[in-house]
Amino acid sequence: MNKSKATTALKSLLVSGCALFVWGMTPVFLASTLTSCEKLEELLGGDDEGDDDGDGSSSGNLNGVGTTDGAAPYFNLETTRIEVPAVRDGEGIQVKCQTNIISMRYVLEKFKKFSEGELTEQEDYSFILENPEYSFYGEEYLQYYTNYSSEKQTDNLLIYATDRDSLLATIPIEQAAAPHISVAKADAGINEITLTLEGQNDARFYSTYISTDSIPLFEVIQDLKNGGSGLPFEYLFDLQSQPTCTFSGLTEATKYYIYLQGGTEPGPLCGVSLYTVTTAMRGKEDALILKYVLNNLNNRTVYLPFEGRVKGVIDWGDGVTEVLDKSYVYSADLSHVYAQGAESTVEVAFKGTVESLTTNSTTKGEILKSSLIGITQWGTPELKTLRLEDVTALTQLAADTKGALSAITDFTSCFEDCTGLTNLPEDLFAMATGAQTFDRAFQGCTGLTSLPLNLFAQNSSARNFNATFSGCTGLLYLPEDLFASNKDIYVMNDVFSGCENLKEIPAGLFRNNTRLGYIQCGFSGCSSLTSLPEGLFANCPGIQSVSEINSVMDAYGLFSNCTSLTEIPEDLFASMTKVTRLDGIFKGCTSLREIPEKLFANNTQVISMWEAFAGCKSLQRIPAGLFDSMRTLQAVRLLFKNCSSLTGESPYTLINGKKVHLYERKDYPNEFLEITSHTSAFNNCTNLTDYESIPSNWR
C-alpha cells in the first residue's frame, strides 16, 4: 500500500478514537488528545518502499510494526489522568485501547529518567508500578505497589510502538497518599517526649519506632514495598483510645527520630512518617549562653558566631530547641527567627562543643556584631579559638568558671574594637592557664574605664602583649598588679599606646617582668600622663627595644606624643643596658621642660636616637653631658628638631678638658664612632649659643 492509501486508512480509523481503562475503581477522564494519522506516520516512518502488492492487498507492516489484521497500524487513545488508590488490590490496573499494533512497550517516565542517569537523588528511585518498564499489549493488568508514603506519588506512563523514539501516548498517574499519622503537638521534656497524634486519610491505628539514629525514610518505604518490615515497629495502638504517645527514659538534650506507621485496619499498616524531636536540657549550668537584642536591624533574627565543627543542642529561648551536628560552619551561618511579640532581648543557650567563636564582615556578620549584647555564661563548649572582633553591641562578659577557654593559647584580637565593653570580669581568663598570646586582645575597646586586678593572674605562661590595650581611650588608671604573675612576658609593643586619658602609671607595673625584651611605643600617645614614676623599669634589664621607625621613616618611641608629660625620672632607662635604639623616645612631648643629666648614663649600647626629642617645644636646656656614655652613637637625625625654646649650649663631652660636641665627634675617632646620620638634628633650635657653629647639614 502506498503512502497516500495508508494515510487514508489511518484517518478513517482514528477519526473517532477512544481508550478504555479498567481497574478496581472508576477512572477520571480529564482531557482528550488524539494521536493523529500524520503523527503516527511520522513516528513509524510512512515512506516504506514496496508497500503496494499490486492486487490492492496490504502487508500490515509500517516500518516493521506488525498488526493483528494485516492492515495499516492504528492506535486510538483518549488520554486521561489515572488516579490510583494508595493500597494495592489484587487485580491491578488494566489499560485497554483500540489498536491493531501487535507489540508495544510502556515505561514510567521516572524510571526512564533513572535509566538515563537524570535522577541523582536516591529518594527519586521509587516507582508506582511493580514493573516500571514492560511489554504492552493493551489487555494485561499492570500491578502497582502500595504507597507507604504520607505524600501522594505522581508519574507519567509512556507508551511506545517500537522504541523510545516512537511515543504514542503519555498518561499522567497519581497515586493517593497513604493512610498515615501526623503530629499535632510535640512536648519535649528532659527525659521524655509526648506526641499528640491525628489520623490522616482515614488512618485509625498506628505503631511507633524511636531511635537516636537517622534511618532515611525512603529506605524504610523501599523495604516495605519489597515485603520487609521497614523498621521494628512496636505495639499497635488505636488512635481513638490513645491519641497521645509518650516515650520515656530518654537522654536529655538529644535529638530523636520518631517513625509512625498508620493504617485504617489493625492488620498490616500502611503510611510511614518521620518526626524529629529534641529533649530539653536538664539545666544550663554547663551551657554557653549568649544574649541578643531583637530589633528592626536584625529583623528579629539571631545569628550565631559559631565557626568550625559544631555538635550539641541549642535552646533558642522561645521554646524551640535544635540539635546541631555540623562538620563545619562559618560565623553567622546558623540563625533563628523569633516570632512577633517575643521579648526584646533573648538568651540563647548552647550545650555541646564548638571550635570557634568568631566574626566576619558579611552582611549577616555585621548584623551579628550589632545584636550580640552579652556572653552571660561560658559553659563548657571546649573552644579552640575566640575572636569576637568589632562586636560593638557587646556590653557584658562573664567569668570563665567551667573551662570554656582552657584550651585556647592565642587570644589575639579576642575582643578587639568591642567598644561597648565598660568593664571586664576578674576571672575572664582564669582557666586559660596555657595562654601564650594576648596581642590586641582589647585594642580599641574605648568604653573600658578600668581593668580588674587579677585579669591575667592565672596566665603565667603568657609572653606576648602587643597592643593589648592600645586605643583604650577610656582607661584612667591601671592596677599595679596587672602583670604581676606574668614573669615570662617578652613583648609588649604598643601595649597602652593611644590611651589618651590614662592619668598615671603605677611604679610597680613591670616589677616582675624580668624577661621583658620589647616595649616599643608602649605608652605612645598617652597624652594625659604628666609624670612617670621612678623605678618603672628597674627590674627589666632585658629590654632591647623601645622604639620603631615606620615605613616612611618616622620614628616613634616608648613615650612619644605624651603631650602632657612635664618631667622624667632620672633612672627611667637605668636598667636598659641592652637597648641599642632610643628613636622617637620623647618625640612630640610638647610639655616636657627638662631632661635629667644622667638619663642615659647606663645606655652605652645605643647607636640611634632619631627624633628622640623632636617637637619638644617646651624643652629649655639640654644637659651638657647627656650623651657622654653613648660613644657608639651613629644616628641623630631630627634629634632636637623644633625644640624652639632651647637655650644654652648644645650637648658635649669633655675630652682632656676640651668640649667635643656631637657634630665634632668625627674628629675624635679614638673616642667616638662618627655620627653619620644627622640631618636637621638641631633644626629650628636657633637660641642655642653655638647654633652658628653647628654645621648646616646638622641644622
* Spans of all domains in the chain: 3-175, 180-278, 284-385+393-398, 409-516, 536-699
Residue 226 · residue 145 · CB < 8 Å: no
pLDDT band at 32 (very low <50, low <70, confident <90, very high): very low
- For 596, residues 6+ apart whose C-beta sits below 8 A from its C-beta are 568, 569, 570, 623
Q: Where are any strands of DSSP class E within 360-406? A: 372-377, 385-387, 396-397
Check whether 11 has a pLDDT greater than 50.
no
pLDDT in tens, 189-213: 889 999 999 999 999 999 999 998 8
Highest mean pLDDT among 158-172, 546-560, 592-606 belongs to 592-606
Residue 319 · residue 274 · CB < 8 Å: no
For position 12, what pLDDT does the model report? 30
For position 139, what pLDDT does the model report? 67
In the block, which residue shows the cell 515512506?
47
Written as nine digits, the cell of 532 is 612617670
pLDDT band at 100 (very low <50, low <70, confident <90, very high): confident
For position 563, what pLDDT does the model report? 98
For position 18, what pLDDT does the model report? 33
| CATH number for the domain running over 3-175 | 2.60.40.10
pLDDT band at 119 (very low <50, low <70, confident <90, very high): confident
Q: Which of 551 and 369 is assigned the larger pLDDT?
A: 369
> Which residue, among 597, 515, 592, has the nearest Cα to 557 in the 3D structure?
592
Written as nine digits, the cell of 119 is 535522577
- Cα–Cα distance measured from residue 517 to residue 48, given in angstroms and rounded to the nearest whole number: 99
H-helix segments, 226-263: none
> Which residue, among 100, 200, 118, 107, has the nearest Cα to 159 in the 3D structure?
107
pLDDT band at 77 (very low <50, low <70, confident <90, very high): confident
pLDDT band at 631 (very low <50, low <70, confident <90, very high): very high
Lowest-confidence segment of 214-228, 467-481, 624-638 by average pLDDT:
214-228
Domain 3-175 matches domain 180-278 at the CATH topology level:
yes
For position 61, what pLDDT does the model report? 59
H-helix segments, 317-398: 363-369
User: 64's torsion region: left (phi>0), alpha (psi -120 to 50) or beta?
Assistant: left
83 burial via Cβ count (<10 Å: 0-12, 13-18, 19+): middle
Average pLDDT over every residue of 472-499: 98
- Cα–Cα distance measured from residue 287 to residue 380, given in angstroms and rounded to the nearest whole number: 6
Identity of the amino acid at 423 = N
313 burial via Cβ count (<10 Å: 0-12, 13-18, 19+): buried
For position 63, what pLDDT does the model report? 61
pLDDT band at 251 (very low <50, low <70, confident <90, very high): confident
Highest mean pLDDT among 41-55, 152-166, 515-529 belongs to 515-529
Which H helix or E strand runs over 643? none
For position 76, what pLDDT does the model report? 81
Average pLDDT over every residue of 558-563: 97
Average pLDDT over every residue of 259-270: 93
pLDDT band at 97 (very low <50, low <70, confident <90, very high): confident
Pairing type for strands 396-397 and 372-377 reads parallel
Check whether 414 has a pLDDT greater than 80.
yes
Phi, psi values for residue 549, rounded to 5°: -120, 125
pLDDT band at 410 (very low <50, low <70, confident <90, very high): very high
**For all residues of the chain together, what is the average pLDDT?**
88
419 burial via Cβ count (<10 Å: 0-12, 13-18, 19+): buried
pLDDT band at 606 (very low <50, low <70, confident <90, very high): very high
Residue 513 · residue 538 · CB < 8 Å: no
Correct CATH for 409-516 of 3.20.20.100, 3.40.50.2300, 2.40.50.150, 3.80.10.10:
3.80.10.10
Class level of CATH domain 180-278: mainly beta
> Which residue, among 449, 450, 511, has the nearest Cα to 485 in the 3D structure?
511
For position 102, what pLDDT does the model report? 83
The model's pTM: 0.67
Written as nine digits, the cell of 545 is 627595644
- Cα–Cα distance measured from residue 107 to residue 129, given in angstroms and rounded to the nearest whole number: 10
- Cα–Cα distance measured from residue 699 to residue 696, given in angstroms and rounded to the nearest whole number: 5
> Which residue, among 49, 95, 50, has the nearest Cα to 76 in the 3D structure?
95
Check whether 409 has a pLDDT greater than 90.
yes
- Start-to-end CA span in the chain (Å): 118
> Which residue, among 411, 409, 371, has the nearest Cα to 392 in the 3D structure?
371
